[in-house]
Amino acid sequence: MRNDLTNEFLFKISERILGRNSKFHNLHRGESCYLFGNGSSLKYFDLEQFSDRIGIGCGQLFLHKDYSRLNLKYYYSGHPFFYYPFWTNQYLKKFEKNRVGAICRENISKNKQTEYFISLSNYFGLRGENIFYVHHFDTSFDENKYDLDKKFTYIDGSLSAMLGMALFMGFNEITLIGCDYTWKPRHHGHFFEFGKRPDKIVSDKFSEKPLSAAKKNAKISTITINDKYTGQLIPSITYKDFTGKDLIFKENHEIIESIDLLKLDKTNMMYRIYDEE
């Protein structure tokens, strides 16, 4: 009961801040969009092939050399307390200098044409005309609560948050790019990491609740490398069938500047940036 009262109080004092998001409601009603993850499949794709629709990105996507070729109007960066000088590293469980947050802050300042949605917990850590805040106030997932200007329950990960954003904005066709965990077998690794990782056969369904709920309101599909992979919960289409282009694999150092790879290597996030051999 005490937590419920606390969250209700937080919601009340945050209404004005969250209310700024109301302008996005059904702004793109009936349109199609791309949601970009950070999967290693992006190393095979020519991103310019996905410039014909509005895109929503996340993670370290802005480090890709072809980022500027995308029509990336929106970006999700929802880690709590992510834009402060120090944080608790989720891998090392250690309080330390926040190097990965600094990378994101730097790139947000470079890409002012994009509108960013970040955790309300970062309200005192990052401000700007193009910065918007979201929060779920400890409310469990509810398939009908994707209100960016109120309680937003699609927030258990970047993919679910981007789905909620797209639904709130009114998109009725959503295509996932680089969301490799939605495939079977599951494709691992990030586009900014070195090499190729083995696939995994898993029984759990990634982002099952948000994907299942979103399918009721929009047509959703995921782009795979080839027909070895299929969507686990949603329809899939191969890159070749979707674009008419052949795959061209590029290693991380071919699509990301060396200075950015060095910064990623120093984040203590357990990324495999260089050839370990």
Q: Is the pLDDT of residue 266 over 80?
A: yes
Q: What pLDDT does 92 receive?
A: 87
276 inside domain:
no
212 inside domain:
yes
pLDDT tens-digit map of 169-209: 999 999 999 999 999 999 999 999 999 999 999 989 999 99
When divided into structural domains, the chain yields a total of 1
Q: What is the extent of the structural domain holding 65?
A: 2-265
pLDDT tens-digit map of 95-149: 999 999 999 999 999 999 999 999 999 999 999 999 999 988 777 899 999 999 9
% of the chain at pLDDT higher than 70: 96
Q: Which residue has the tokens 């330390």?
A: 96
Give the burial string for 231-267 (b: 16+ CB within 10 Å, else e): bbbbebbbbeebbeeeeeebebeebbeeebbebbeeb
133 inside domain:
yes
d(CA 100, CA 84): 11
9 inside domain:
yes
Instruction: Please say whether the beta carbons of 77 and 118 come within 8 A.
Output: yes
Question: Region 238-255: what's the mean pLDDT?
Answer: 98
pLDDT tens-digit map of 214-239: 999 999 999 999 999 999 999 999 99
d(CA 221, CA 231): 8
CATH number at residue 34: 3.90.1480
Q: Is the pLDDT of residue 5 over 60?
A: no
80 inside domain:
yes
Q: What pLDDT does 139 receive?
A: 78
d(CA 53, CA 72): 9
Q: What pLDDT does 277 receive?
A: 59
Confidence of residue 2 (pLDDT cuts 50, 70, 90): very low
130 inside domain:
yes
Question: Region 36-47: what's the mean pLDDT?
Answer: 98
3-state secondary structure 174-209: EEEECCHHHEECECCCECCCCCCCCCECCCCCCCHH
Helices (H), 62-149: 99-110
272 inside domain:
no
pTM of the model: 0.95
